[in-house]
Amino acid sequence: MEEKILKILGDLNEEALNYKGDNLYKDGILDSIQVIDLVVQLEEDFEMEIAPEMVILENFANKDTIINLIKKILEGQNAR
């Protein structure tokens, strides 16, 4: 799953894969359109929905927070 997320992120913006900071958006690596594109691609590839209230900077700060968000959502779906 992590590899798939990283591939999606890398296809969108390869620089994001090597980013070591705390906030892809604030540091200008991803812009708002790319965040929305990332959300759409993750939803399609993982056949899930990311609730609008989950699309916040903290959840898309870096590759680790994105991976953790997707894991959390998928775990919640599997618990149902």
Report the predicted TM-score, pTM, of the whole model to 2 decimal places.
0.91
Where residue 78 falls among pLDDT bands split at 50, 70, 90? confident
In eight-state DSSP terms, residue 47 is T
Question: The CATH number of the domain where 40 resides is what?
Answer: 1.10.1200.10
Confidence of residue 47 (pLDDT cuts 50, 70, 90): very high
d(CA 11, CA 56): 21
Indicate if the alpha-carbon torsion angle 21, 64, 36, 76 is positive or negative: negative
Give the total number of structural domains in the chain: 1
**Phi, psi of 79, deg, nearest 5:** -80, -15
Structural domain for 19, as ranges: 2-78
Neighbouring residues of 8: CB distance < 8 A, sequence distance ≥ 6: 38, 41, 42, 45
